[in-house]
Structure 1
Amino acid sequence: AIVGSACVDLIARGRIDELEALVGEMKKAVKAAGRARLQ
């Protein structure tokens, strides 16, 4: 819920570039976590 509200806040302020960067970082973290679990 915290991440969602942060995204909404960025969108509301027109910070789409920052939002995309945040989403990119989250995707990287998820991939890294997935790889760590497989090992």
Structure 2
Amino acid sequence: MSRILVTGGAGFIGSNISRKLVGLGHDVTVADDLFLGRKDNL
């Protein structure tokens, strides 16, 4: 399908959106500085 960049992907919203997009067959790249995000969410 599409290639998508999710900024803030280690946060609550970004990680859930990323999972949903991957589940729909998209190629997802996540960018996050981990200031507020959690590495566990990646």
Coarse TM-score class (shorter-chain normalised): 0.3 to 0.5
Q: TM-score, normalised by structure 2?
A: 0.37
| Bigger-Rg structure (1/2) | 1
| Structure with the larger strand share | 2
> Could you state the TM-score of these two structures normalised by the residue count of structure 1?
0.39
Which structure is higher in helix share?
1
